[in-house]
Amino acid sequence: VTDLAHVGEFGFIDAIEKLTRSAGSRGVSVGIGDDAAVVACSPTTLLTTDTQRQGVHFELDWLSARQIGRRVFRVAVSDVSAMGGKPRYLLLSVGAPARTDAGWARRVIGGLVADARGCGTALVGGNMSADDKISLVVTVIGDGPRRPLLRSGAKAGDAIWVTGPLGGAAAGIELLRRRIRQNQFIAYYRTPPLRLSVAGALGNSGFVSSMIDVSDGLVQDLGHVCEASDVSARLDLDAVPMPPALLRAARSRSARPSRAESFSDKKHHGRDARSLLTHDALSYALAGGDDYELVFTTPLRVTERDVRSLCARHDCAVTRIGVIVERGVAAVTDANGRPLERAGYAHFGAP
């Protein structure tokens, strides 16, 4: 095993430069290897950054090296999707212990580069630094639509929509934290959806009054839209889309609500994971987070059919889950106006 200390910072950067050489590089005049990258950008450029740190956002045995790289790309790029834009360039800051296997580290970056290439996005620079854990900071430079989709445009009467099902990733993380490595929810966590195609179409459609991605949990993120737009959101909880397995797990849980606490990891390793979940399905969907689906609002003039056919053209499931109302007692409520808690349980709460 050759570690990073042996390869050295400059040696490792050379290897990364080789990885990126064959990648899509439209707009890139100078990529990895000079003081800064030189790229062509537009008058509506999108900028966002995201950190994934070992021990905080993931553990090394939760994901393969390539999955770590792919996931960090998809999580970061989700913020560009949420503006209705397209990612074009990436910068990557890597923190790693000197004893890190250099081949493993190359596979992490290989996973990122391959997934990014599939989206026409090029890794153009970054830096390396000693750290006691693996730390990946990805900055995404994107192209926005002429009018990027902000959090602040929702108006009373607007319909609320969400792509894909919610809650699967949070259920997967809960089981991973309890050392259950094989479970039916883990794929939602490992491979966040790429919503670039539908996001770009929504960005150019003129249909959308506000948009955000679901990273911290539906209630939390929709709450940000409500605050920025000075409105409230009323959700039809029966409509919130969830993976069928999560719904089955919820039924199973309600039959024996107090068993979860007594489960030991070893005893249940390999068993059907659904009976190990400690919360009802809706808690994962409303407060779990890590879904990286899109929540957006559409004004009255846009028909349901408009929205459904646009999303269908991009092979993206979409569900109407509520309506924007005048600002009320809480940012996000159920259909009866009862406030929904932002975090279903402390595990997912603010620090």
| Residue whose CB is less far from its own copies, 21 or 251 | 21
Residue pointed to by tokens 């994934």: 52
Cα–Cα distance between 267 and 231 in angstroms, integer? 48
- Please pick, from the candidates 18, 21, 26, 42, the single residue that binds its own copies as defined by CB under 8 A: 42
Both tokens assigned to 251: 């039924």
- CA 75, distance to chain mean position in Å, is 4
Q: Output the smallest distance, CB 46 to its own copies, in A.
A: 4
Distances from the Cα of 62 to the Cαs of 131, 190, 191, 217, in angstroms?
20, 8, 12, 21
Burial class (CB in 10 A: 0-12, 13-18, 19+), 349: middle
Contacts of 255 (CB under 8 A, 6+ apart): none
45 binds its own copies (CB under 8 A): yes
200 binds its own copies (CB under 8 A): no
346 binds its own copies (CB under 8 A): no
Cα–Cα distance between 297 and 151 in angstroms, integer? 10
| Residues of span 248-267 touching its own copies by CB under 8 A | none
Amino acid at 224: H
100 binds its own copies (CB under 8 A): no
Cα–Cα distance between 75 and 117 in angstroms, integer? 15
Cα–Cα distance between 100 and 135 in angstroms, integer? 12
Question: Taking a C-beta distance cutoff of 8 angstroms, is the pair 227, 330 a contact?
Answer: no
Both tokens assigned to 137: 């900071």
Distances from the Cα of 24 to the Cαs of 5, 88, 113, 116, in angstroms?
30, 10, 10, 9
121 binds its own copies (CB under 8 A): no
- Please pick, from the candidates 126, 203, 322, 344, the single residue that binds its own copies as defined by CB under 8 A: 126
| Residue whose CB is less far from its own copies, 28 or 282 | 28
Q: Considering only 43-51, 164-172, 245-253, 330-338, which stretch makes contact with its own copies by CB under 8 A?
A: 43-51
Binding mask 10-39 for its own copies (x = CB under 8 A): x------------------xx--xxxxxxx
- Please pick, from the candidates 2, 49, 254, 309, the single residue that binds its own copies as defined by CB under 8 A: 49
Cα–Cα distance between 158 and 326 in angstroms, integer? 11
Cα–Cα distance between 167 and 242 in angstroms, integer? 6
| Residue whose CB is less far from its own copies, 43 or 244 | 43
Cα–Cα distance between 21 and 123 in angstroms, integer? 9
Q: Output the smallest distance, CB 124 to its own copies, in A.
A: 6
Q: Output the smallest distance, CB 326 to its own copies, in A.
A: 22
Q: Output the smallest distance, CB 78 to its own copies, in A.
A: 8
- Please pick, from the candidates 69, 110, 125, 288, the single residue that binds its own copies as defined by CB under 8 A: 125
Q: Considering only 48-56, 159-167, 184-192, 306-314, which stretch makes contact with its own copies by CB under 8 A?
A: 48-56
Q: Considering only 64-72, 118-126, 271-279, 296-304, which stretch makes contact with its own copies by CB under 8 A?
A: 118-126
56 binds its own copies (CB under 8 A): yes
Q: How many residues bind its own copies (CB under 8 A)?
A: 65
| Residues of span 139-178 touching its own copies by CB under 8 A | 139-142, 144, 148, 150-152
Give the DSSP H/E element, type plus range, for residue 319: strand 318-326
- Please pick, from the candidates 2, 5, 21, 187, the single residue that binds its own copies as defined by CB under 8 A: 5
Q: How many CB atoms lie within 10 A of CB 182?
A: 10
Distances from the Cα of 274 to the Cαs of 172, 227, 248, 269, 282, in angstroms?
10, 35, 7, 12, 14
| Residues of span 75-94 touching its own copies by CB under 8 A | 79-80, 82-83, 85, 89, 91-93
Residues interacting with its own copies, by CB under 8 A? 4-5, 8-10, 29-30, 33-51, 53, 56-57, 79-80, 82-83, 85, 89, 91-93, 95, 98, 124-127, 129-132, 135, 137, 139-142, 144, 148, 150-152, 211-213, 228, 350-351
